[in-house]
Amino acid sequence: MYISTLKLDHFRNYGSLDLEFSAGANLFYGDNAQGKTNILEAVYFCGTTRSHRTARDSEMICFGAQEAHLRMEMKKKSVDYRIDMHLKAGRAKGIAINGVAIRKAQELIGLGHFVFFSPEDLGIIKNGPAQRRRFLDMELCQLDKIYVSSLAGYNKVLLQRNRLLKDLSFRPEDMGTLDVWDEQLVRYGSVLIRSRERFVERLREIIRPIHSKLSGGREEMEIGYEKNVPVDAFAEGVRKSRDKDLLLKSTGRGPHRDDLSFLVNGVDIRKYGSQGQQRSAALSLKLAEIELVKESTGDIPVLLLDDVLSELDTGRQHYLLDSIGQIQTFITCTGLEEYADSPVQIDRIFQVTEGCAIRK
């Protein structure tokens, strides 16, 4: 699949924008804060209904405007799809596929697949577990509709349960309602744990040869799913930690405390990896993600590379570009000179200045 056009109206710093893309590599260059990432964000948002940087849709409406419109056209197996999005402060976003409004954002999931790679992703190994859980959630939400609704359900229950834990010191008579939340926590949470198990299992297989090749055969990579609690011990675990939860006023057990581990030649590189090792592992993870999308959907994802090529040395740049092959790519950078000696073949170039993007 590939994205053919994007139209923006009062989205971020774009008053209006109308672009046609190449099915190959599209490059956006310009100074800082001109609107390059905003274009990638718009593509990702139209494709997945989520922004990679904010959970609040209204933040994306242009300052001073009441609403924003986005329109993206894509081609998949020679069929055209048009996605329209409408944002208005204080309202749920409106989405239409080929002019037909959809009721739930989930209905868009699976139409296209997108892999976003930003400089923050290079820190996924060394940063905290929250970023690794976010990676799991963002990927699984694109691949699995049941995961999307279970995650929404789980987050809601977790919030309510934590609120109740705080309130119970004033209203101990409400203790009985805790059982209801516990049961729902386990119900939704078990779906998340099982999906994560399957996902990490596949990822583990796929990443091994990728990382071995990237490291010139020197490193063996092993990804692990560090679950806070296994499914069959979840209900019991929540029951047992109730006293502690009441004391700390927060929920101690569940997949909101999960993590991913990364072992290279048996060493935990989250703690002991060199910077280069951690970056290589992050790159392998992204490449594995592309393979996994291909394998589980039969579709080739669109790759969004925000400012990352310049962060990689030429060896890794080469490897990345060799691996992605026929994928449609959106690349941002600050200067064209970064690409003068790079192996990247660019098919279309846009210059971005103060909320305008002009094809060069």
Ligand X SMILES: Nc1ncnc2c1ncn2[C@@H]1O[C@H](COP(=O)(O)OP(=O)(O)OP(=O)(O)O)[C@@H](O)[C@H]1O
User: Given candidates 8, 17, 34, 324, which one binds ligand X under the rule CB under 6 A?
Assistant: 34
Q: How far is the CB of 58 from ligand X (least distance, A)?
A: 9
Q: Which stretch binds Mg ion (CB under 5 A): 35-43, 80-88, 151-159, 215-223?
A: 35-43
289 to 308: interface string for ligand X, x by CB under 6 A: ------------------x-
User: Given candidates 34, 37, 328, 329, which one binds Mg ion under the rule CB under 5 A?
Assistant: 37
Q: Does 32 bind ligand X (CB under 6 A)?
A: yes
Nearer to Mg ion, 36 or 132 (CB): 36
Spatial strand order of the sheet with 267-268 comes to: 221-226, 259-264, 267-268
Q: How far is the CB of 114 from ligand X (least distance, A)?
A: 17
Q: How far is the CB of 337 from ligand X (least distance, A)?
A: 15
Q: How far is the CB of 36 from Mg ion (least distance, A)?
A: 5
Q: Does 118 bind Mg ion (CB under 5 A)?
A: no
Q: Which stretch binds ligand X (CB under 6 A): 61-69, 72-80, 231-239, 279-287?
A: 61-69
38 binds, among ligand X, Mg ion, none (CB under 5 to 8 A by kind): ligand X
Q: Does 122 bind ligand X (CB under 6 A)?
A: no
Are 318 and 292 in contact by the 8 Å Cβ rule? The answer is no
Nearer to Mg ion, 36 or 286 (CB): 36
Nearer to Mg ion, 36 or 253 (CB): 36
Tokens at residue 354, please? 């103060």
CA angle, 78 then 81 then 82, to 5°:
150
CA angle, 261 then 308 then 58, to 5°:
90
Nearer to Mg ion, 119 or 209 (CB): 119
Q: In angstroms, rounded to a whole number, what is the distance separating the alpha carbons of residues 158 and 153?
A: 9
Q: Does 13 bind ligand X (CB under 6 A)?
A: yes
Cα 69 to chain center, whole Å? 22
Binding site for ligand X (CB under 6 A): 12-13, 30, 32-38, 59-63, 307, 332, 334, 352
Note the residues at the interface with Mg ion (CB under 5 A).
36-37
